[in-house]
Amino acid sequence: MGNKGQYFSPEGLEKLKKELEDRKYTLRKEIAGRIAEARDLGDLAENAEYQEEKERQAFNEGRIEELENVIKNAQLISHISGQLVDVGSTVKVKSPVGEHTFTIVGASESNPIKGFISNESPLGKSFLGEKKGSEIEVKTPKGVVKYKILEVL
């Protein structure tokens, strides 16, 4: 059974790689230094700073493991303009309330307010596999909305 990863733009994946590098090579050393300093303060059972830094260390190590797993399984968005709507496509659509432009992205990069919609959202799913000129209906909390795809960029 394949472990299908999340979709990322090249920029989004690079951002995760930078966070991983920072956590592994900068933050990890900073925390270790603070743990050593706190350990020098005495009784570890009653040392709040030591306990706090150990918790910070555990969180950082967990995040490092999570980032490594996400990066290892990441699906990079590769898109060919003008073809069928896929993850990475930007679509210009018309609805009863006007024209909109959406970019289909992986769930971790979605930001509907800025026009980045998840490939897993009802709207994103409805656009996938469609082409210029297609008319689709999407069930929304406010009812069914009709969209016509004007362009696939």
Amino acid symbol at 58: A
Closest CA to 7 of 101, 120, 95, 96: 120
2 assigned to some structural domain: no
134 assigned to some structural domain: yes
Least confident of 17-21, 121-125, 129-133, 138-142: 138-142
Helix/strand/coil for 45 = helix
11 assigned to some structural domain: yes
Q: Scanning the structure block, which residue is given the tokens 């959202």?
A: 121
Query: Are residues 60 and 121 located together in one domain of the fold?
Result: no
Residue 79: the pLDDT is: 56
Q: How many CA atoms lie within 13 A of 94 on its CB side?
A: 7
User: Does position 2 have pLDDT exceeding 50, yes or no?
Assistant: no
Q: Could you please report the per-residue DSSP string of 55-92?
A: HHHHHHHHHHHHHHHHHHH-EE----TTSS--TT-EEE
Residue 27: the pLDDT is: 96
Domain that holds residue 97: 90-152
Q: Is residue 40 very low, low, confident or very high in pLDDT (cuts 50, 70, 90)?
A: confident
Q: Scanning the structure block, which residue is given the tokens 């082409």?
A: 131
Tell if the pTM clears 0.75, that is, is over it.
no
Spatial neighbors of 81 by CB under 8 A, at least 6 apart, are 152, 153
**Residue 32: which CATH number?**
1.10.287.180
Contact between residue 22 and residue 29 where contact means Cβ atoms under 8 Å apart: no
**Residue 106: which CATH number?**
3.10.50.30
Query: Are residues 100 and 145 located together in one domain of the fold?
Result: yes
Of 26, 42, 76, the last residue of a domain is: 76
112, two tokens: 């509907």
Count of structural domains, the chain: 2
Query: Are residues 15 and 70 located together in one domain of the fold?
Result: yes
Q: How far is the C-alpha of 22 from the C-alpha of 67, rounded, in Å? A: 11
pLDDT tens per residue across span 46-98: 788 888 999 999 999 999 999 999 888 887 776 555 578 888 889 999 999 89
84 assigned to some structural domain: no
